[in-house]
Amino acid sequence: MIIGLDISTSITGVTVLKEDGDIDYNFAIDTRKYKNFFTKVEVVKNRLEKLIIEPEAIFIEQSLQSFRSGFSSAKTLSTLSRFNGIVSWICYERWNIEPQYIAATSARKQCGIKVPKGKKAKEIVINYIVDNVPDVSIEYTKHGNPKPHCFDKADSWVVARAGWLQCQKQRK
């Protein structure tokens, strides 16, 4: 089994893939209603501890490493990095497996998802999931847009799938 995580202080996506690459679990942990950083950590920890699995590997989307115009501030990047580190530790402590980190662009590339210049990666990924991965359930708002947690579920599948593909290569 492979665990793929898309970690965020607002919504964390989790996908568990079976040995054959099929989805065992795909869900999101919504922590937006909690204002306290450590409460958010506790909510994620409690949900991960409920997973009764023995993973072969854990893959986590690498947190942003640099500034981009119009995106996250230094404070946001620092908070996200701390949260990512704590959830990584929770995974290590829970399963005694050191998580491996994978950049979002690299994970998408390994899954064959191409993001054209000028397009938003999240939209391309969700469209790919809708067209190719029926086991990831996508819910929509009354206006026909994917609900926010669905983007995180989709991203966690991409991370898990890229990790699964890496493990398949190592076996050969």
pLDDT in tens, 66-75: 444 445 577 7
Going through the chain in order, the beta strands assigned E by DSSP cover 2-6, 11-17, 23-30, 57-61, 100-102
The percentage of residues in the chain with a pLDDT greater than 70, rounded to a whole number, is 95
- Kindly report, residue by residue over 45-94, the tens digit of the pLDDT: 999 999 999 999 999 998 765 444 445 577 777 888 899 999 999 999 99
Question: CA 30, CA 40: separation in Å to the nearest integer?
Answer: 9
Task: For residue 13, list its beta bridge partners.
Answer: 6, 28
Task: For residue 140, list its beta bridge partners.
Answer: 146
Q: Give ∠ CA 100-33-89 in degrees, rounded to 5.
A: 25
At 167, the amino acid letter reads C
- Domains (range + CATH), the chain: 2-171 (3.30.420.10)
Specify the pLDDT at position 77: 78
Question: In the structure encoding, which two tokens stand for residue 147, read together?
Answer: 């609900």
**Treating both helix axes as pointing N-terminal to C-terminal, what angle do 74-95 and 37-49 enclose, rounded to 10 degrees?**
30
Q: What is the pTM of this model?
A: 0.91
